[in-house]
Amino acid sequence: MNQSATISSAAPASTRAGLLVRYGIWIALALTLLLLPYVFSSRLALSTMSLMGTMIVFALSYNMLLGQTGLLSFGHAVFFGLGGFATVHMLNLVGGNSYPIPLPLFPVVGALGGLFFGVLFGAVATKRAGTAFAMITLGIGELVASSALILRRFFGGEEGITTDRTDMLRVFGYSFGPQIQVYYLIAAWCFLSIVLMYAITRTPFGRICNAVRDNPQRVSFIGYDPSTVRFIAFSLSGLFAGVAGGLSAINFEIVNAAQMGAVESGSVVLMTYIGGVGNFAGPIIGAILVTWLQLILSDATTVWPLYVGLLFIGVVMFAPGGIAGLLSMQQPLLAARTLHRVLPYYFLMFVPGAVAVAGLAMLIETSHQFSIRAAYGPRMTLYSIPFDVTTLTPWAIGAVVFAVGLWLFLRAARLARNAYDAALPQRGNR
Amino acid sequence: MLEIILVSTLNGVLYGMLLFLMASGLTVIFSMMGVLNLAHASFYMLGAFFGFEISRRLGFWPALIIAPVLVGLIGMAVERYGLRRVHKHGHVAELLFTFGLTFVITEMVEMFWGKLPVDYRVPPSLDFAAFTVFSVNYPAFRLFVLLISVAIFIALLLTIKRTRIGLIVQAALTHPGMVGMLGHNVDRIFMLVFGVGVGLAAIAGVIAGPILITQSNMAALLGPILFVVVVVGGLGSLGGALVASLLIGLVQTFAVAFNVSLADLFGTSQLSAVLEVWLADIWRVTIAQIAPIMPYILLVLVLIFRPRGLMGTRDT
Amino acid sequence: MRTFIGSAALALAMLGSTALSAMAQETIKIGYVDPLSGGGASIGQIGLNQLNFIADEVNARGGINGKQVQIVGYDNQTNPQISLVQVQKAIDEGIQVIVQGNGSSVAVAVSDFITKYNERNPGENIVHLNYAAIDPVLTNEKCSYWHFTWDASADIKMEALTNFMKDKEDIKKVYLISQDYSFGHAVAGAAKRMLNEKRPDIEIVGDEYHPLVRITDFAPYVAKIRASGADTVITGNWGQDLALLIKAAGETGLDVDWYTFYAGGAGAPTAIKQANLENKVFQINEGINNLGYGPAEERAGAYMERFSSAPVYFPRVFNMMDMVFKAMEEAGSEDPGDFIPKLVEMKHDSFAKGEEGFMRADDHQFFQPLYIAALGELGEGEKFDEEHTGWGWKLAATVPTEDTLLPTTCEMERP
């Protein structure tokens, strides 16, 4: 995978400049998290960023399984939800200041909850890998989600458990009522989790995980038990998912059974894979992108899951490394200072690509207006052009734009590919 | 008591065979291609909607033939232009590809047929009570489902074990290179297998549509139970899938008949008063209440004690 | 690691586009936060259709206080967390009236959020109009000054239903079957309590719970009902859990009367017709077609003609919007802080038959006449069938508003 190439380039340390290169990225990340609220100060932006921060931790924890250990889980939301429930129960227990514990420490409770259930379910699930593992996690997910509605005292039934985060011991007078304070709490935990999860990938254990992903047989030859490695990875992944659940509980002050369901488990798969499983930063990109799509694309069109589904299929088929994979493919070119040779081709590819997407969107939206939204009349406006969907013209235009765009895109993609290969330094990573 | 046992057995078998009908295509695709098709339930849904649309124009019987063929063709196209491409990235990529497909198919179905249930009915020629046991009517259509399931099971078994095609297909999974060298087009074989598997899903859709609710969320609601069937049965084993379907059908049906909870088991002793406090919610939950969750418990148990499934031959 | 920078840049670009500030408005914007994609969308879309229909009516009359009404849909994917971000988005876009209904989980979250929001942001007033979530906690323990509900709660409906059942001498044995979650338990609990009180001679022969939307085969449950010898079944089931239950009963020839809350919901009339259970399935709600009330027939007729592919509507949504618009006009303001006092204690002629209901100040629950009806072949002068089945709802009894009143434990904090 590309990961090793990406990381090793940051490795030469020991000199001062080396240290700066090594830690510069973390300082930049911390500064970004610190300064973001000054750039986007609206309350919506704060809520959105808080949600994104939570989802980043969640997606990264998922990638400990999928990307690093090669385990495809369809029930990861279980740990997210159970971590959230652990946190919210502890908040209510401690609430009213009966024990002096400040709010920022509570994600630890989520972590412990996630770890506990990670160990419990991991003991069952990680005996197997591959397809069987995927099915077991699917089954566990269903089991927990169904039980949650039956066990009403712990899970609070359909409406879930609510809490009040401002009711805790206050440190430095922070009440955590305003969203901005919650944002910083989440940002801090997000940063900490990213650092920890990155650190885990750098340990010998992280390496063994990769080995289990790539060739479990050889791992057992060198004396490690693959299923033990999977078990530890699964438990740790549950721990961080629990942190994410705890952050979510603090952010929304409510946790309920829907959070553990198949939909949530599915969306973390989408986030992680679209972002890129082969690169540590991939899930971060994916979490930001998919959360954004869920919130914003859903305003533009109610068939947004279709677009997300198509995007996902597109990534699986054409860019299995995800968005981060595509970005890190540029690394060797950047190092060889040949990127400028390829950029024009990318631009050439991008234009018809955008045209093709626009044409496809036009086809989809026109059919949507024609079928589901028929009661709203045949008139609609797309790209600020009004038209009538009962006439043939918009369909024809959409189809032609799509076809032409796609054809040109494929041509340009071939050119770009050649240019890329040519620009790649000799003895490159392929 | 006899009434309960007899009626439950009958109901369990009928339900189990319906499950087998739905899961058979999934098993076929997995046993011959090694791909677990997460979009199987989506193709089942496509079958139901195609069946609905065709049967209101041409009648139920033509729909039973045409809809599976159409869906099979769609499946072959999906295999040819999608699945084959991701095959080289391994099984996880294949699983994810079919996972993405579920979103796309659901949205497409909504676009054509809307989000509300459609009025897909049992054909008049089969809409009567076939026989009555303890004043419970058993509709003819349910027996028809049973017959079709048995017929499909036998046909599949014979095709795989007794015919040349079956041999080639099985060989193509383990030794694709060798089969190719013997002059068979491996790609085309896989494409056909996928088409057939998906077509079986569509048959299940055409038949189950009138019994269940034909609606755009039917795939999502059905999905997980089918995977339980094929995993419990042993991935890729047709006989296993049959046994697992019947087992799940019977377990679930008999569980509904029993209103026993932990509270009933322990009676009113000092111990039970303590347990009641500690177990809280679980204490009064009856077996009947959790009957539909039993298959998932079964799944976990089977995978702990018999990781290859009931009749599976290999550990994947 | 460079991809970190890439992701940060991506985040910046995206947030930039979300940070559009609220524009000065000449319109009254109403936010609709409900599922518009995924499994819940079949119902969520109906609510949106109906709000748009009402907005078009009002706008054709010249709007409210001289301003046009605009409905803005926000897809919450039936997810409480997404809902809260969507509510925040609506508030940032200058919306003060939030309509939501599907899912008690979402309703509790939204009501809680809005109450805390108004408290933490003095001077800003947001109101939550709930048209469907009927978990009793919303008007009892978790009631709020900023939450109003138009659907009768599970307790109220059961109170009315048992008042009707107590006079039916032929009911001897009742079977209860419900979905295993808080609402199902609320329904079954109320049924047991109230029947026991009003008709102690009725025997409860079964009290069954099954997991929510997990069941494909209801035959075993029907067998159990039959074995119990019940003549009547009460169920709070909705959606496919009701439709499949009814279908299984029809298939096996189970002959009982059904008392339901949601047999009017999408898909259920089709199932009842398929099961051929004529005049056997009763439902209780705040209005049906064919009550012979002119204004309702005209309005509902126009609605169903326009939305002919999904000709389902909720009478309570008409009640809700009519009352809210009336309150805005009386107050001469669209700020909830100004119009809520007008809405509280407001009397309103209910949509279905023009009979009077009122908004109770104690818990912000709208009390209205309820109608018990059975589905069957249309009679003389009955125009509307359900879901093109040829069958329609036929009135069995009217429960006047005063027979639906129930005490509340709500201790409302008023600003």
pLDDT of residue C1: 43
Residue C299 Cα, gap to closest chain B Cα (Å): 22
Chain A residues touching residue B101 (CB < 8 angstroms)? 309, 313
Establish if C228 belongs to a structural domain. Answer: yes
Question: What pLDDT shows up at residue C154?
Answer: 86
CA distance to partner chain B, nearest, from residue C77 (Å): 14
Same-domain status, A341 and A201? no
Assess if residue A273 is contained within a domain: yes
What domain count does chain A have?
2
For C86-119, write each residue's pLDDT tens digit: 999 999 888 999 999 888 888 988 999 999 899 8
Percent of chain C with pLDDT over 70: 94
How many domains is chain C built from?
2
User: For residues A244 and A259, is the Cβ–Cβ distance under 8 A?
Assistant: no
Answer yes or no: do A256 and A338 share one domain.
no
pLDDT at C147 over 90: yes
**Domain range for A414:** 332-423
Contacts of A418 (CB under 8 A, 6+ apart): none
Residue A238 has pLDDT above 50, yes or no: yes
pLDDT given for residue A82 in this prediction: 94
Provide the pLDDT for residue B177. 79
**Are residue C310 and residue C218 in the same domain, yes or no?**
no
**C-alpha–C-alpha distance, residues A199 and C15, integer Å:** 29
DSSP code at position A102:
B
Its domain, for residue C249, covers: 155-285
Q: How many residues does chain C have?
A: 415
Q: Which helix (H) or strand (E) holds C357?
A: strand C356-359
pLDDT in tens, C335-352: 999 999 999 989 999 998
Tokens of A230: 């999977």
Residue C233 lies in a domain: yes
Position C25 scores a pLDDT of 46
Same domain, A298 and A336: no
pLDDT band, very low/low/confident/very high, at A12 (cuts 50, 70, 90):
very low
Strand arrangement, sheet containing C370-377: C203-210, C173-179, C232-235, C257-260, C281-285, C370-377, C391-399
Same domain, A90 and A196: yes
pLDDT grade for C182, boundaries at 50, 70 and 90: confident
Taking the C-alpha atoms of residue C226 and residue B147, their distance in angstroms, rounded to an integer, is: 27
Is the same domain home to C68 and C131? yes
Distance CA C160, CA C152 (A): 10
* Residue C58 pLDDT: 93
Neighbours of chain C (3+ CB pairs under 8 A): A, B
Q: Is residue A353 part of a domain?
A: yes
CB interface of A with C, residues 167-226, below 8 Å: 177-178
- Residue A366 is predicted with a pLDDT of 82
pLDDT value at residue C341: 92
Quick one: A173 and A104 in the same domain? yes
- Pick the closest to residue A168 from A243, A250, A54 (CA basis): A250
Residue A421 has pLDDT above 90, yes or no: no
State residue C97's pLDDT score: 95
Crossing angle of the two packed helices B218-233 and B2-33, in degrees rounded to 10: 90
Q: Looking at the complex, report in whole angstroms how far the Cα of residue A364 sits from the nearest Cα belonging to chain B.
A: 9
Q: For chain C, say whether A40 makes contact (Cβ under 8 Å).
A: yes
pLDDT band at A235 (very low <50, low <70, confident <90, very high): very high
C74 touches chain A (CB under 8 A): yes
| Angstroms from B65 CA to nearest CA on chain C | 24
Beta bridge partners of C283: C260, C373
The reply to whether C308 touches chain A by the CB within 8 Å rule is yes
- Determine the pLDDT at residue C22: 36
How far apart are alpha carbons A396 and B215 in whole angstroms? 30
Residue A111 and residue A177 in one domain: yes
Domain assignment present for residue A309? The answer is no
Residues A286 and A353 in one domain: no
Report how far residue A118's alpha carbon sits from residue A412's, in angstroms, rounded to the nearest whole number. 47
Q: Is C41 close to A302, i.e. CB distance below 8 A?
A: yes
Does a structural domain hold residue C349? yes
| Chains contacting B (3 or more CB pairs within 8 Å) | A, C
Instruction: Read off the tokens for B271.
Output: 């111990």
Q: Which of A42, A294, A327 lies closest to C92 in CB terms?
A: A42
User: Could you give the 3-state DSSP secondary structure of residue C376?
Assistant: strand
- Test B116 with C223 for CB contact under 8 angstroms: no
A303 contacts A360 by C-beta, under 8 angstroms: no
Q: Are residues A179 and A105 in the same domain?
A: yes
Confidence class for position C21, pLDDT limits 50, 70, 90: very low
Closest residue to C82, CB basis, from A279, A294, A376: A294
Bridge partners, residue C395, by sequence: C373
The average pLDDT across C249-256 equals 88
pLDDT score, position A397: 86
Most B CBs within 10 A among A316, A318, A364, A410, hence the mutation to make, goes to: A316
Is there a contact between B137 and C221 if contact means CB atoms under 8 Å apart?
Answer: no
Contacts of C216 in chain B (CB under 8 A): 15, 18, 212, 221-222, 225
A-chain residues near C91 (CB < 8 A): 43-44
Strand partners, A386: A381
C411 domain residue, yes or no: no
Task: Note whether C347 and C358 are within 8 A (CB).
Answer: yes
Q: Which of C18, C38, C306 sits opposite A48 (nearest CB)?
A: C18
pLDDT of residue C266: 79
Q: Do both C76 and C39 map to the same domain?
A: yes
- Whole-number pLDDT of residue A16: 65
pLDDT at position B271 is 66
Query: Do C110 and C147 sit in the same domain of this protein?
Result: yes
- What pLDDT does A388 receive? 78
Q: Which of C285, C308, C337 is the last residue of a domain?
A: C285
Residue at A321 is within a domain? no
The mean pLDDT value for C5-25 works out to 44
pLDDT tier for residue A263 given thresholds of 50, 70 and 90 = confident
ipTM score for this prediction: 0.86
The answer to whether C252 touches B136, Cβ cutoff 8 Å, is yes
Q: Which of C238, C262, C285 is the last residue of a domain?
A: C285
Q: Which of A252, A284, A303 is the last residue of a domain?
A: A303
Tell me, yes or no, whether C14 lies in a domain.
no
pLDDT reading at A97 higher than 80: no
**pLDDT greater than 70 at residue A13:** no
Confidence of residue A11 (pLDDT cuts 50, 70, 90): very low
Judge whether B214 and B118 are in contact, CB under 8 Å.
Answer: yes
Same domain, A255 and A395: no
Answer whether residue C52 is part of any domain.
yes
Bridging pattern class, strands C68-75 and C27-34: parallel
The mean pLDDT value of chain C amounts to 86
Nearest to C220 among B114, B116, B253 (CB): B253
Same domain, C137 and C196: no
* Residue C262 belongs to domain with CATH number: 3.40.50.2300
Chains A & C: contacts with CB separation below 8 Å? 196
Task: Identify the weakest region by mean pLDDT among A273-287, A375-389, C254-268.
Answer: A375-389
CA distance A90 to A96: 12
Domain containing A282 — which CATH number? 1.10.3470
Of C285, C320, C340, which one is at a domain's C-terminal end? C285
pLDDT (average), residues A179-198: 92
Is C107 within 8 Å of A28 when comparing Cβ atoms?
A: no
Residue A113 lies in a domain: yes
Residue C191 lies in a domain: yes
Which chain C residue has its CA at the smallest distance from B107's CA?
A: C38
Measured between CB atoms, which of B119, B137, B292 is closest to C253? Answer: B137
C12 pLDDT above the threshold of 60? no
Last residue of a domain, one of A303, A320, A345: A303
Cα B20 to Cα B243: distance, rounded to the nearest angstrom: 9
Give the residue carrying structure tokens 């090694």. Answer: B34
| pLDDT under 50: residue ranges of chain B | 315-316
